[in-house]
Amino acid sequence: MYDIILPIRFFLRRRITILAVLAVALCVFTVVVVMTVMNGLVSDFTDKNHAFFSDGIVWTDSLVGFGLYEEFISRLEKTDFVACAAPVINTFGLVESESSGKNAALDLMGMDIARQIKTTDFADTLYYRKDTPILAFNPIYDVNLAGCIIGVDLLVERLKSGQYRQLSFLPMWSYLITCFPLTPKGALAKTGTALTANSGTFYYSDNSNSGLAKIDSTVVYLPFDSLQSLCGMDIGAKRTNAIFVKFKKGFDINVCTDKVSRLWQDFIKENGDFALANLFGTVRVADWKTYRRETIAPMEKEQTMMILLFALVGLITVFIIFVIFYMIISRKSRDIGILKSLGVSKTGIVRVFLRLALLIGICGAAVGIAAALVFLLNINRLEGWLFDKFGFQIWNREIYAIGEIPHQTRPVLLAIVAACAVAACLLGALLPTLGSAGRKCVDILRVNQL
């Protein structure tokens, strides 16, 4: 019974235990806040990539592309696991604003908007045509003009608050877009001895905010057929250089990607006599995550680094608890001597102090988690206030493509952090307790008597 009453009394009546609780709470608070924000940023980034690039991609890095894509898409759509697929052209070109005269070499993405909005969440990235995405390439001011969608960061000013200064009306801006068409053999198309450059005028029909900074600041979207023609992918046979594939709900992406890969292998075998069959060799099939590995991997590495860093924070917690318990037990050594003189065993004494550590761990974790939840709940409000008052921002929204700071805490994370905090307390308390409990009580009492 003493091993229940004493830990409670030590906990309630010793100020040093408040220090221990605060130390644990502080560590738990830091770990929960940073892990939540970091996990949130990574999952937000990966979710946006997934939404933009669909589930699986059949693609080639070659600007020449590959043919028979419509045949392969129809084969894919006949399977039981593919919901839909869309051809996409990724290339580059010169974009000149006809109103300002400014020009730049930018990435161009050609998409069949009807199929694209079924296959990806592209519709959600639009501003003016969010409700009628099918008309995204038809400018509101004249639906008969050829439209282009511009990456939001290329065109729209981003305020320090992270909001975009969107115009309430769609301005009639035109862009001259020039591409250098390639023959199926990969050579620049020529007319006589002069190189051919295809140009077309497109009117600003919308802007796209995918939340992926690199894409929003470098990509101009054009109708699939128009871009195909501009970059010569209709010479010889119609070509594309990517197919985005959306799998049906409930199907595993990795399994489906393997199936698509096998289908592709069968497809190129069957079409070995196709005139441009040599272009099939560069085509690869991957899930969205593998396709975007170069972009996602650094963030995931950063996340792993964070986890390692916070494992170090955990070790520091153990050390802090160890020091605090060393102090508590140094002060309590006389009590240990008294308990031993009353016949309390070594395990009984260890039990008293481990229960004290358990109380400190539980209370510290509870206080830390509660404080972290309150902080996270108000993190955006707090950042807003700091910004309004002092102009300080944790992430400069002009640089980082994030809206709100992520603050959704996962219960699993809370449970793991709380369990680690309690385990750290028990571990930190165990060594000094074992050391003191193992001493002869007469030695302890003699020292305290002097």
- If binding means CB under 8 A, how many residues of this protein chain bind another protein? 29
Q: Does the footprint of another protein cover residue 437 (CB under 8 A)?
A: no
Q: How far does CA 431 lie from the centroid of its chain?
A: 41
Q: Which of 302, 321, 313 is nearest to 417 (CA)?
A: 313
Site string for another protein, 387-426 (x = CB under 8 A): ----------------------------------------
Cβ proximity of 104 and 126 under 8 Å = no
**Minimum CB distance to another protein smaller for 130 or for 446:** 446
Cβ proximity of 82 and 76 under 8 Å = yes
C-alpha Rg value of the chain to the nearest Å: 32
Q: Which of 162, 49, 130, 207 is nearest to 401 (CA)?
A: 162
**Minimum CB distance to another protein smaller for 281 or for 438:** 438
Which residue is associated with the tokens 């229940």? 4
DSSP string, 309-368: HHHHHHHHHHHHHHHHHHHHHHHHHHHHHHHHHTT--HHHHHHHHHHHHHHHHHHHHHHH
**Minimum CB distance to another protein smaller for 50 or for 332:** 332
Site string for another protein, 4-43 (x = CB under 8 A): xxx--xx-xxx-----------------------------
Cβ proximity of 159 and 165 under 8 Å = yes
| Maximum Cα interatomic distance, the chain, rounded to a whole number of Å | 108
**Minimum CB distance to another protein smaller for 10 or for 264:** 10
Which amino acid would we find at residue 85? A
**The one segment of 3-11, 39-47, 84-92, 310-318 that binds another protein by CB under 8 A:** 3-11
**Minimum CB distance to another protein smaller for 427 or for 445:** 445
Residues 124-183 that bind another protein (CB under 8 A): none
**The one segment of 233-241, 393-401, 405-413, 436-444 that binds another protein by CB under 8 A:** 436-444
**Minimum CB distance to another protein smaller for 1 or for 194:** 1
Residues 299-338 that bind another protein (CB under 8 A): 334-335, 337-338
CB of 348 to another protein, least distance (A): 8
Q: Which of 39, 21, 32, 12 is nearest to 371 (CA)?
A: 32
C-alpha–C-alpha distance, residues 231 and 183, integer Å: 9
Site string for another protein, 339-378 (x = CB under 8 A): xxxxxxxx-x------------------------------
**Minimum CB distance to another protein smaller for 19 or for 237:** 19
The residues, ordered by sequence, that sit 6+ positions from 51 with a Cβ below 8 Å of its Cβ are: 120, 121, 124, 210
CB of 309 to another protein, least distance (A): 38
Binding site for another protein (CB under 8 A): 1-2, 4-6, 9-10, 12-14, 334-335, 337-346, 348, 440-442, 445, 448-449
